[in-house]
Amino acid sequence: MNIVITEWQAISHNGDLSPDIFSEFGDVTAYPATPDDKLIENIKDADIILCNKVLITEEVIKSCPKLKYIGVLATGYNNIDTEAAKVRGIPVCNAGTYSTDAVAQYVFAQILYHYNKIHVYNKDVRDGGWIKSPIFSYFPYPTYELKGKILAIIGFGSIGRQVAKIGDAFGMKIIVNTRTKPSDCPYELVSLEDAFSRADVLTIHSPLTPATKSMVSREKLALMKKNALIINSARGPVIDEQALADALNEGRIAAAGLDVLEHEPMRPDTPLRDIPKCTITPHIAWAPLETRERLLTIARDNLRAYFSGDPQNVVNP
Query: What CATH number has the domain bearing residue 18?
Result: 3.40.50.720
Alpha-carbon span 224 to 108, nearest angstrom: 20
Domain assignment present for 122: yes
Alpha-carbon span 116 to 270, nearest angstrom: 27
Number of domains in the chain: 2
158 & 264 share domain: yes
Question: Which pLDDT value is given to residue 186?
Answer: 96
Residue 76's pLDDT band (cuts 50, 70, 90): confident
Residue 188: domain span:
100-280
CB atoms within 10 A of CB 289: 11
248 & 116 share domain: yes
Question: Does residue 12 register a pLDDT over 90?
Answer: yes
* More confidently predicted of 103 and 209: 103
Alpha-carbon span 294 to 215, nearest angstrom: 31
Question: Which pLDDT value is given to residue 243?
Answer: 98
Catalytic positions are 235, 264, 283
Query: Per-residue pLDDT tens for 78-96?
Result: 899 999 999 999 999 999 8
260 & 151 share domain: yes
3-state helix, strand, coil in the chain (%, to 5): 35, 15, 50
pTM metric for this prediction: 0.93
169 & 252 share domain: yes
Domain assignment present for 24: yes
86 & 162 share domain: no
Domain assignment present for 207: yes
Question: Which pLDDT value is given to residue 13?
Answer: 84
48 & 178 share domain: no
88 & 104 share domain: no
